[in-house]
Chain A
Amino acid sequence: MNERRTALEASMSEPMSEPMRELDRECLAFSAYLIRQRPNEYVLAKYRDAHNASGIVELYESLFLDRLLVGVAAAHPIGAKLVDAYTAIFYKKSTVRRKWILLLAILESCAPTYKYFDVPDVGGRAWLATRLLWQGLGFILALTLSVVLFMPAHLISVVCSRRAGRT
């Protein structure tokens, strides 16, 4: 653990560029949305590493719609909820979902955040039914709003991509 801390301290002491700081802000916002916890320095460093190593940055920079969705999701938890609902149905391969999956994998692979994934749900059937109903209604509401907000941009993005493909 001390060696891990030392390595992280070394990486953290290096001057950080603006894109790296942007990734840290993104990681903080996404972690709050996904597991309602603040990521530690190790998770922040791995999230930055992942963007350098996995080629996700190229994806991110390629499409206007992806930049929009990542920006909205990182801006506020309600924005993340809307983006989550929209991309779950209409844009599963979006960059923002890739980033969430990447971050979830990092969070689950290290302490102390892995514990969040191991805790079983509490409550009986009535509580489960209530939660499902509440989450279902919330999802429908979020999806409705998100379609109004993001569908126009999505359609424009598709049309622009097709035109660019012809030229």
Chain B
Amino acid sequence: MMGKVVIIGSGASGVHFALSLLGKGYEVIMLDVGRAKPPAANPEDDFNGLKTNLIDPARYFLGSKFEAVVHPGSEGEYYGFPPHKSYIFSRPDSFRLEASGFAPLLSFAQGGLAEAWTGGVYPLNAAELREFPFDFDEIAPCYDEVAKRIGVSGVIDDLARFYPVHDNLL
């Protein structure tokens, strides 16, 4: 038996790390606290099914005060966030964060930012990794492993020169 590892946080990075460790024979204890995901509105419905079957779909997608509608000149994100996802970015009143030169994105939800997964999977390229102690070729197999696990779809198209393409795309 290998050693015991405690992983704090059950977000996307945490679960992949845990899976890799389990594969190598480690015992893993995963700890997470945070705001729980509310029950799904209509679990049997897909995205368009919600629009068809919910009693008040506009309230679900846009909010009771239409707060998810982003108007010209609005500050913040350039796309609206559905109100039923507000638990992901709500913070305790006592929480304070200061940052200079970057905009940290964090969550107090159980599962972390993986709860707000929007489907974009962009690996860092060689230029972005220039200041890191490893280069893209070294971590490319790790990207491929993650792509195999979660099923990243895509094609080799004109964006491939900006975003490295995995060998294991669906």
Is B truly associated with A?
yes
A: residues with CB less than 8 A from B are 1, 3-4, 7, 42, 46, 50, 53-54, 92-93, 97-98, 101-102, 105-106, 109-111, 114, 118
A-B contact count (CB 8 A): 62
Nearest CB of A to B82, in Å: 10
Interface residues of B in 53-75 (CB under 8 A from A): 53-58, 60-62, 64-73
**Which A residues touch B62, using CB under 8 A?**
105-106, 109
**A12 CA to B105 CA, complexed, in Å:** 44
Interface residues of B in 68-116 (CB under 8 A from A): 68-73, 80
The answer to whether A111 and B52 touch across the interface, beta carbons within 8 angstroms, is yes
Scoring B66, B67, B80 by chain A CB atoms within 10 A of each residue's CB, the highest score goes to: B66
The answer to whether B71 and A109 touch across the interface, beta carbons within 8 angstroms, is no
Across the interface, name the chain A residue whose C-beta is closest to B65: A53
**Which B residues touch A7, using CB under 8 A?**
55-56
Q: Is the interface of A mostly helix, strand, loop or mixed?
A: helix
**A3 CA to B66 CA, complexed, in Å:** 21
The answer to whether B58 and A46 touch across the interface, beta carbons within 8 angstroms, is yes
**Which B residues touch A97, using CB under 8 A?**
71-72
**A54 CA to B61 CA, complexed, in Å:** 15
- Partner of A111 from the list B51, B66, B71 (CB cut-off 8 Å) is B51
Scoring A3, A4, A109 by chain B CB atoms within 10 A of each residue's CB, the highest score goes to: A109
Extra A-B contacts (7), CB below 8 Å, given A4-B55, A97-B72? A1-B52, A93-B73, A105-B58, A105-B61, A105-B68, A109-B60, A111-B51
The answer to whether B55 and A98 touch across the interface, beta carbons within 8 angstroms, is no
**Which A residues touch B72, using CB under 8 A?**
92-93, 97-98, 101
Nearest CB of A to B105, in Å: 24
**Which A residues touch B70, using CB under 8 A?**
101
Using A4-B56, A46-B58, A109-B61 as known contacts, say yes or no to A54 and B69 having CB atoms under 8 A apart.
Answer: yes
Using A53-B64, A106-B58 as known contacts, say yes or no to A1 and B69 having CB atoms under 8 A apart.
Answer: no
Subset of 20 A-B contacts with CB under 8 Å: A1-B53, A4-B56, A7-B55, A50-B69, A53-B66, A54-B69, A92-B72, A92-B73, A93-B73, A98-B72, A101-B71, A101-B72, A105-B58, A105-B62, A105-B66, A105-B68, A105-B80, A109-B51, A109-B57, A111-B51
